[in-house]
């Protein structure tokens, strides 16, 4: 929007737009190789031990021969969107202007497709850089209904994944998520309300309220991403297309009596029938 050769000076253009003139000349530096390696190692340790906070992660890295300060670990955990599952004093803050909904799944028997859907976001490392992955799954059958990759933590890619799942598979009775600002955003909530879907949200620091998505993240990383490091976002997207096809159609689950998610989803009677194509 700033035009260097316009009649107004750059200083006046910046003032009228309400931006700092110094920011016009800032060019963000890519993460260093050392920083990216540390991000990947933190993600591996946390995926295997989601109860670890910054102090335990610091100890684990030190035991591996990499001393890192607590402030840096906190910064990197925030960058990765990681939080230990144990309760903690006022460290998980939803957007102050967004409404938080109660957790509705406690004590509920969930054994039918489209009875409950769930979602979450995770960090996906690449050879150079990283992306964020959101997925929407059917709780009872573990089937991944839709997913999206993004290089930012804005709400739009989550909204796109939700709309795709509804367009393809109809609507669930209840939708569960954590209290992240993406899922409490007006745009995301509006889609759920438009389709008259009950809204459920995890309690603070309770990732086990959404345990099946956490298990999906473990599978994504340990059975696929870590074994097939992608060079860039295009390659990562192609790789995840293969993963979700394999996960839904060919990976049997012990909890499903060794059925695949596709077999469980499409053979059980649905709680809410999908919309006609």
Average per-residue pLDDT for the chain:
82
CA pair distance 257, 253, nearest whole angstrom: 7
The pLDDT-based confidence of 179 (bands split at 50, 70, 90) is confident
CA pair distance 164, 158, nearest whole angstrom: 10
Highest mean pLDDT among 18-22, 43-47, 264-268: 264-268
Query: Tell me, what DSSP letter sits at residue 195?
Result: T
CA pair distance 259, 236, nearest whole angstrom: 27
Put simply, whether the predicted model's pTM sits higher than 0.75 gets the answer no
Which pLDDT value is given to residue 70? Answer: 87
237 Cβ contact partners less than 8 Å away, ≥ 6 residues apart: 149
The pLDDT-based confidence of 28 (bands split at 50, 70, 90) is low
Of the two residues 51 and 227, the one the predictor is more confident about is 227
Phi/psi of residue 131, each to 5°?
-135, 165
Which CATH fold topology does 116-267 show?
Nucleotidyltransferase; domain 5 (3.30.420)
Q: Give tens-digit pLDDT for 65-113.
A: 888 888 888 888 888 776 655 433 332 345 556 688 998 998 889 999 9
Highest mean pLDDT among 26-30, 58-62, 177-181, 250-254: 250-254
């Amino acid at each position: 929007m700033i035009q260097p050769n316009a009649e107004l000076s750059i200083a006046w253009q910046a003032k009228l737009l309400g931006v700092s003139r110094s920011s016009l000349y800032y060019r963000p530096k890519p993460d260093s190789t050392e920083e990216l390696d540390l991000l990947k190692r933190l993600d591996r340790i946390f995926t295997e031990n989601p109860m670890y906070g910054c102090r335990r992660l610091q100890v684990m890295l030190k035991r591996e021969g990499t001393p890192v300060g607590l402030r840096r670990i906190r910064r990197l955990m925030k960058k990765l969107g990681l939080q230990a599952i144990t309760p903690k004093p006022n460290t998980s803050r939803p957007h102050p202007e967004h409404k938080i909904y109660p957790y509705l799944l406690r004590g509920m028997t969930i054994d039918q497709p489209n009875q409950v859907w769930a979602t979450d976001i995770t960090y996906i490392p690449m050879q150079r850089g990283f992306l964020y992955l959101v997925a929407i799954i059917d709780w009872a059958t573990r089937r991944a209904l839709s997913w999206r990759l993004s290089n930012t933590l804005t709400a739009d890619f989550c909204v796109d994944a939700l709309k795709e799942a509804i367009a393809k598979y109809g609507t669930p009775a209840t939708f569960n998520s954590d209290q992240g600002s993406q899922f409490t955003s007006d745009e995301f909530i509006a889609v759920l309300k438009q389709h008259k879907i009950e809204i459920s949200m995890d309690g603070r620091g309770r990732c086990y309220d959404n345990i099946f998505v956490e298990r999906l993240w473990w599978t994504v990383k340990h059975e696929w991403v870590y074994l097939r490091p992608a060079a860039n976002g295009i390659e990562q997207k192609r790789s995840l297309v293969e993963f979700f096809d394999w996960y839904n159609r060919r990976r049997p689950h012990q909890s499903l009596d060794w059925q695949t998610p596709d077999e469980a989803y499409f053979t059980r009677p649905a709680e809410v029938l999908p919309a006609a194509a």
